[in-house]
Amino acid sequence: MRWRALLVGFAGALCLAAASDPAERLADPAKEAQARSIFRDVRCLVCQNESIDDSQAELATDLRKIVREQVSAGRSDLEIKRFLTDRYGEFVLLTPRFSLGNLALWVAPFLVVLAGAGLLAARLRYRPPETELTATEAERLQRIVRDETY
């Protein structure tokens, strides 16, 4: 579909896995790995749904520089992320926070599982009032017996 293509495509044209550029890299491989893992969680604010790890936009280059500087200075992931959210707001992190405002986001999928399990349990306990097979049930039974099961 065109729009899908445009969306990913537009981002792609601007942003080609930019973070691996040797000109930007840190000398210490462990520090570089730490910086890269942070990049993947930081949004390129001017791109569309792109991390600064992928983006070649100017802002992403600046953000990478800041993050690398802070990593070299020995600051922890948490400190760096706090620095970024203080400056740009929660929007800058690709992982939404575990906060009250995001409660529905984090909990709903698992609530669906629980609700489904509850409904299944109720269904398993359900007993129809009639004990005899009705005519349609008998017919359906015959059909099931006749059809090979999957």
Binding site for another protein (CB under 8 A): 1-10, 12-13, 15-17, 20-23, 40-41, 43, 46-49, 51, 54, 89-97, 101-102, 104-106, 108-110, 112-113, 116-117, 120, 123-124, 126-128, 140, 143-144, 147-150
Cβ distance to another protein smaller for residue 16 or 65:
16
Query: CB of residue 112 vs another protein: minimum separation in angstroms?
Result: 4
**Vertex 23, ends 21 and 25: CA angle to 5°?**
70
Cβ distance to another protein smaller for residue 41 or 75:
41
Distances 142 to 131, 134, 138, 149 between C-alpha atoms, Å: 18, 12, 6, 13
Q: List, in sequence order, the alpha helices (H) in 16-129.
A: 29-39, 58-72, 77-88, 103-125
Query: CB of residue 8 vs another protein: minimum separation in angstroms?
Result: 5
Cβ distance to another protein smaller for residue 4 or 86:
4
Q: Encode burial over 55-81: b for 16+ CB neighbours within 10 A, e otherwise.
A: bbbeebbebbebbbebbeeebeeeebb
Cβ distance to another protein smaller for residue 62 or 120:
120
Query: CB of residue 106 vs another protein: minimum separation in angstroms?
Result: 7
Query: CB of residue 104 vs another protein: minimum separation in angstroms?
Result: 7
Query: 94's torsion region: left (phi>0), alpha (psi -120 to 50) or beta?
Result: alpha
Cβ distance to another protein smaller for residue 73 or 147:
147
